[in-house]
A and B are shown apart, each in its own frame.
Chain A
């Protein structure tokens, strides 16, 4: 008993997969259902005219749910065996309640996903698997239920397993276990069932009792977010907080974020009293050897292993509000014990959780999962969620209604956006046919860079020819001079630290080589590639039509030739990439240089 651990479980299943029955069964068979509760559900079961006792009623807490017979909010259940204590976050399966499942999974050691053997993988099951993967739940159990209805047929079970595995290939599920069960009849719930001699794995409870559960916390990187300062009198100043990850000992050197000041741990007080070490998830008070000013929201780390100090990062978010996401709207970002003003600057893509594929749709609504760029007014001290749940997670809150807008997981703490200012100026030269997507790409990259407060200059043929180059025509000489002037401007701007995005058809290799010569080392030649038929079909300015009818002469791709770059630094094929993938590819290239 001395080692009994708390195991946090989240459950999910589509309506009627038997989730409530499974939980009821676990509670009942582990004797966590007491006589008066049993009597109450017996009463309710007979009231609603059900035959037998409906164990599902036990877990359906609220009146509205009892009336509609559905679970609508996360409810918590407790049960214990001689070995362990369990907390079940019971989350409903409806599509509209993805946010509940995210809530339940956020703290889980184990996710139990119910699948009805007769239905196989439904859209809902995929959603559940996806969320477990997104939130990096360390262990996933797929309970294939209602085996009694298929005569405990192994092949039916294997079919579901194969279906699940095919989908899971696109996910990041570390530890995946399949168990054939009948929640109703209790097969493979507590004990292994006689009816599935072909199943060599554990029962659900056996699995839960033996699963290794320290996976959810990072034991390596010491992070102590300060919750409050304890100051009974002038002689004592202690900093209170729960160790988010890692550990620290008395005497070890620590660094304060954001100030960067270094000092040492003088004293650690745990609930039992003085301690020599503070470990993950302990609530402690530390005193430091130097008089350092620390307040709520600051963080203690090891000097050689700090969290990333960042004001711009990328994250996956689950949108939890009824109103759709509004780009650039100010909101409050809650991260560890820190609250800062933040904005979502860009939606990179939306994830279709049922196919695990990316979609370009920029409108993000309730229960959508999206990858976004977030900037903050003040720095936060973060790690990628994958490495550290505690310092990689955040919540966005509406500053007016105070409702939670989104739960987020940081995917990159120091992105393209963050690195770029230290890289200094450079010129990105986008060459390609009219309609290949140069301007669209330029706009997307420019707004991402501006979001990170990186100065950008965008140059393109239309803008220059409207003023500065109004004296030039479309003869080969006029075109060459047009490019020369553009390159000169780009060179001046990049030498002053700007990222210059140039969108010019620049059809001849000689023109581009000339630009490279003028600009020098910080030149990135990018071929924005797209076949001429696709460009002509896009025809955003109606020029292809005019060229074909002869109203426009010397038109590249139709009546003038385009020399593809022989040695482009980067080729972006817009006929096969989405806009955000193209933008990301270019941002990555800018960062690498």
Chain B
């Protein structure tokens, strides 16, 4: 079933991630695996399958849908779930808006990205989750560089970066009070390149948004946004057709594309290895301020 042997480095990362996933099964009662249909969550779901084989992995997938996803991602997500016989829960930011839990942002740069936090925290309460496994990596962003594998959240779902639990050796302390929960990040030590090389070695399928394709895009403050129904053109903005691919496939209103001709995994890997900008440079949401990510995370963002 599994083709290419992994390099030492990847094999170590894989073993580490599986260890962390099994700790979830060992230490938590109600866990969900956050699944967006993006490359990191695909790798994560695959690792979860390996960790508990031949049993099914003992947690459902959970997707917080901003309603602004690329249709390709959603189609991929549903096909993935069907193919692997998984259990998927979806919760919608639209519902949070309809129930008055959050207010939609205004303006042409509006995004539902930050609003997801409320929907996520509400869902954690609703499903009485004590752990939510996510695919975040420490190399993505500098606030994430300080994350733990098991990251404690208080009863308000908040992260306190100055009072994190020390994580010594591989002893992960998942003990908690009622109402508190953990975010668990098995891919903490992976880099973008590791993800792609792993996808290639394990022959995992990913949405075709990651491969180069022709698309109408809008250039907005240095970011190439896909021209979708979710964005409103500002004065003077004109969509142009370009050969692009996406390095992340989050909310379409803030996920930028890059110009690329990479149509195979090998080409993507070569491109990522040579890339001179980080993958989050394509994220409009992180450009809002120097500490945009840290501020979102404190409130309970992924």
Q: A75-B146, A76-B189, A227-B22 are in contact. Are A397 and B168 (CB under 8 A)?
A: no
In the complex, are the beta carbons of A390 and B169 less than 8 A apart? Answer: yes
- Does A3 interact with chain B (Cβ within 8 Å)? yes
In the complex, are the beta carbons of B173 and A273 less than 8 A apart? Answer: no
- Does A2 interact with chain B (Cβ within 8 Å)? yes
Q: List chain B residues, Cβ under 8 A from A73.
A: 146, 161-162, 164
In the complex, are the beta carbons of A407 and B166 less than 8 A apart? Answer: yes
Within 38-92 of A, Cβ neighbours of B (below 8 Å) are at 40, 44, 60-64, 66, 72-78, 80, 84-85, 87
Query: What is the bound-complex CA distance between A296 and B27, given in angstroms?
Result: 10
- Does A230 interact with chain B (Cβ within 8 Å)? yes
B150: min CB distance to chain A, Å:
11
B203: min CB distance to chain A, Å:
13
Within 209-258 of A, Cβ neighbours of B (below 8 Å) are at 227-228, 230-232, 236, 238, 240-242
B132: min CB distance to chain A, Å:
18
In the complex, are the beta carbons of B189 and A334 less than 8 A apart? Answer: no
Q: A6-B9, A102-B166 are in contact. Are A242 and B56 (CB under 8 A)?
A: no
Stretch at the interface among B11-19, B63-71, B100-108: B11-19
- Does A133 interact with chain B (Cβ within 8 Å)? no
A103 touches which one: B14, B25, B142, B167 (CB < 8 A)? Answer: B167
In the complex, are the beta carbons of B13 and A6 less than 8 A apart? Answer: yes
- Does B122 interact with chain A (Cβ within 8 Å)? no
Q: A40-B290, A273-B2 are in contact. Are A283 and B18 (CB under 8 A)?
A: yes
Contact with B along A435-455 (1 / 0, CB 8 A): 000000000000000000000
In the complex, are the beta carbons of A35 and B277 less than 8 A apart? Answer: yes
Indicate the member of A35, A36, A75, A320 with the most B CB atoms within 10 Å: A36
In the complex, are the beta carbons of A296 and B26 less than 8 A apart? Answer: yes
Q: List chain B residues, Cβ under 8 A from A63.
A: 290-291, 294-295
Q: A37-B278, A232-B55 are in contact. Are A395 and B145 (CB under 8 A)?
A: no
In the complex, are the beta carbons of A61 and B277 less than 8 A apart? Answer: no
In the complex, are the beta carbons of B175 and A402 less than 8 A apart? Answer: yes
Q: List chain B residues, Cβ under 8 A from A6.
A: 8-9, 12-13, 189
B226: min CB distance to chain A, Å:
20
Where chain B touches its partner, the secondary structure class is loop
Contact with B along A124-139 (1 / 0, CB 8 A): 0000000000000000
Q: List chain A residues, Cβ under 8 A from B84.
A: none
- Does B156 interact with chain A (Cβ within 8 Å)? no
Query: What is the bound-complex CA distance between A35 and B278, given in angstroms?
Result: 8
Q: List chain B residues, Cβ under 8 A from A281.
A: 12, 15
In the complex, are the beta carbons of A64 and B145 less than 8 A apart? Answer: no
Within 118-172 of B, Cβ neighbours of A (below 8 Å) are at 138-139, 142-143, 145-146, 161-162, 164-171
Q: List chain A residues, Cβ under 8 A from B169.
A: 106-107, 389-390, 393, 395, 407
B184: min CB distance to chain A, Å:
14
Q: A77-B145, A271-B15 are in contact. Are A232 and B26 (CB under 8 A)?
A: no
Where chain A touches its partner, the secondary structure class is mixed
Contact with B along A89-123 (1 / 0, CB 8 A): 00000000001101100110000000000000000
Q: A61-B145, A62-B146 are in contact. Are A1 and B168 (CB under 8 A)?
A: no
Query: What is the bound-complex CA distance between A232 and B2, given in angstroms?
Result: 21
- Does B87 interact with chain A (Cβ within 8 Å)? no
Other 11 A-B pairs with CB < 8 A, given A73-B164, A242-B19, A296-B26: A1-B7, A76-B145, A80-B191, A102-B168, A232-B55, A241-B22, A281-B12, A337-B26, A393-B168, A402-B176, A404-B165
List residues of A whose CB falls within 8 A of some B CB: 1-6, 34-37, 40, 44, 60-64, 66, 72-78, 80, 84-85, 87, 99-100, 102-103, 106-107, 227-228, 230-232, 236, 238, 240-242, 269, 271-273, 281-283, 285, 296, 320, 332, 334-337, 389-390, 393-395, 397, 402-404, 407
List residues of B whose CB falls within 8 A of some A CB: 1-2, 5, 7-9, 11-16, 18-19, 22-23, 25-26, 50-56, 138-139, 142-143, 145-146, 161-162, 164-171, 173, 175-177, 188-189, 191, 193, 275-278, 281, 290-291, 294-295
